[in-house]
Amino acid sequence: MAEGHSPSFASYMHSIPLSVALVLASLSVARAGPPVAPPSNPLIPAKFEASIQLENLLGHSKKIWEFANLPGAKTTRSFGTIGYNATADYFAKLAEDHGYHVERQTVRYPATTIISNSLKINGVDVPLSEITTFQYSGSASLTAPLVLVPNLGCSAADYEGLNAAGKIVLVHRGVCTFVEKGEIAKAAQVAGIIMRNNVAGPPVASRLEPTAFETNPPTLSLSQAAAEPIVTRLTAGESITATLNINVSNEFRHSDNIIATSKTGDQNKVLVVGAHLDSVPAGAGVNDDGSGSATIAELAIQLSKFGGLKNAVRFAWWTTEEVGLVGSHYYVDHLSASEKSKIFANLNLDMTASPNYIIGLNLLPMVHVGQNSLTIKRRIGVYDADNSTGQNTGTPAPPGSTAIKKLFQLHYDKRGINHTNYAFTSGSDYRPFLDAGIPSGGVATGAGGIKTPFEVSLFGGTAGIQYDPCYHLLCDDLSNLATDAYLWNARANADVIAQLLTTDSAVILRDPVSFVRLKSGVRQFEYAANLGEECHSHHDEL
């Protein structure tokens, strides 16, 4: 999962009472059609679901780990690296061997390699474990006064009167994205940036604006523990100098989207099932998003053993997700209007086996009406669907997304598996599909967000730590998979995919019902059991 770009932690998510019966009724009429010879092994949701086995998922995970550790691969599968390409070849071959039509789409994008970095405060070295250099940082060796930026550095006004030009600024994490903070600091002509973390643990590994790497200031990130004493001293009026030594190489790389389409099913009604193939530079990404990548590989393999697909399916492994959903954007942007209109839905799998998981079902962004949603804990919410109050901070999802969510919800409900809501943000590859008006959905187990006590009551695990404590770190390795969630979510996708491929789902998903409900204005809806009392957006890094 890429770091979130949506300042959506004010968005509170609740379920829309789209009638379950309605979804089911629509699905059950869907078998009508021209008579065709019955396939020998017709696709049946329960059979497809049962064909998904944990040992096979783990077999792909093991391969992914091995690719990241090929000679010279440096334990990463970041786009365009040896580890990435080996993974891409593996999935492309699997798909080809199982009868899919496979295309590769090459994407060019800048990438950063960190060669060396260090930080001194008044000449004293900060331990390397407390710092990390941002991707797309500039290189420099410089000593300059350190200036504390008030507030969150999300507005040019935060720099007024600071005389930050030529100085190194210390900027707090939160509310707006690091890219935005970097652009604002750059406009103030700073000589360097230190981004300080607002949660315990390692410094956050993030990035500046990729396309501006030639002019970005040297930028590194500092852990909260190392930053706090410095903030205290600066606040007390002490003058401090910082010394930055950053050597990075920024260069363009090429890497491929792998796109595998079934040869059967109506090619004018295509379900796209995607996961991102790239990891961050810091690690192998066995969970992020090796879990989603491996799952769709196994879904593709098992699905190839069934016939009777009414609609076509396209499995897609996206490149360059981690620096801004580049591969999936590239794909959607290069579709003609007619090709786009053939895609009736998108399922996205981005992290399905986080060790401290939630089972989060993607749904429409929406907010409670009322200020300070963070403190609202009432059981009846109001969904400001038409934004009549101007307080809906989300981007409306296209109609049909609710129906997809409902299919997942029914799946887990039937099996007694708790689930919660997980807002669509700008943090994963559903975003370009949503923006193109294509209904999207999926399940995710959480990334860099912090698990709440309420979520522990639903799913077990540990409150107060990340859903994936190894999110974007070297320890996202083969031991970083919750095998129960991994299998549940793969099977849930099998069930939902089978339903969407064997019905007139294209019609259902474009059904105006959810649309009408959403457009009908501010309406009350009931809190649904199991959906999370305070279902915040679970978005990741800002």
Contact set with ligand NAG (CB under 6 A): 80-82, 85, 106, 115, 247, 254-256, 387, 390, 392, 394-396, 416, 418, 457-458, 530
- Could you tell me the smallest distance in angstroms from the CB atom of residue 213 to ligand NAG? 15
Name the residue nearer to ligand NAG (CB basis): 142 or 231: 142
Residue 321 known to be catalytic: yes
Place of tokens 């009026």: 237
Name the residue nearer to ligand NAG (CB basis): 344 or 459: 459
Q: Could you count the other beta carbons within 10 Å of the beta carbon of residue 58?
A: 18
b/e map of 15-48 (b: 16 or more CB within 10 Å)? bbebeeeebeebbeebeeeeeeeeeeeebebeeb
Strand partners, 116: 247
- Could you tell me the smallest distance in angstroms from the CB atom of residue 319 to ligand NAG? 9
Name the residue nearer to ligand NAG (CB basis): 388 or 479: 388
Distance separating alpha carbons of residues 170 and 136, to the nearest angstrom: 18
Q: What angle do CA 507, 513, 516 make, to 5 degrees?
A: 130
Name the residue nearer to ligand NAG (CB basis): 271 or 361: 361
Name the residue nearer to ligand NAG (CB basis): 266 or 435: 435
Query: Which tokens belong to 328?
Result: 């999936």
Place of tokens 């707006």: 176
Name the residue nearer to ligand NAG (CB basis): 119 or 303: 119
CA count, 13 A, side-chain hemisphere, 485: 29
Strands, DSSP E only, in 364-492? 380-383, 420-423, 440-441, 443-444
- Could you tell me the smallest distance in angstroms from the CB atom of residue 414 to ligand NAG? 13
The DSSP output letter for 88 is H
Distance separating alpha carbons of residues 153 and 157, to the nearest angstrom: 8
Place of tokens 């080996």: 86
- Could you tell me the smallest distance in angstroms from the CB atom of residue 366 to ligand NAG? 9
Annotated active-site residue in 3, 130, 180, 321: 321
- Could you tell me the smallest distance in angstroms from the CB atom of residue 285 to ligand NAG? 17
Q: What is the rounded radius of gyration, in angstroms, for the C-alpha atoms of the chain?
A: 23
Residue 329 near residue 432 (C-beta atoms within 8 A): yes
- Could you tell me the smallest distance in angstroms from the CB atom of residue 165 to ligand NAG? 23
Q: Which residues are catalytic?
A: 321
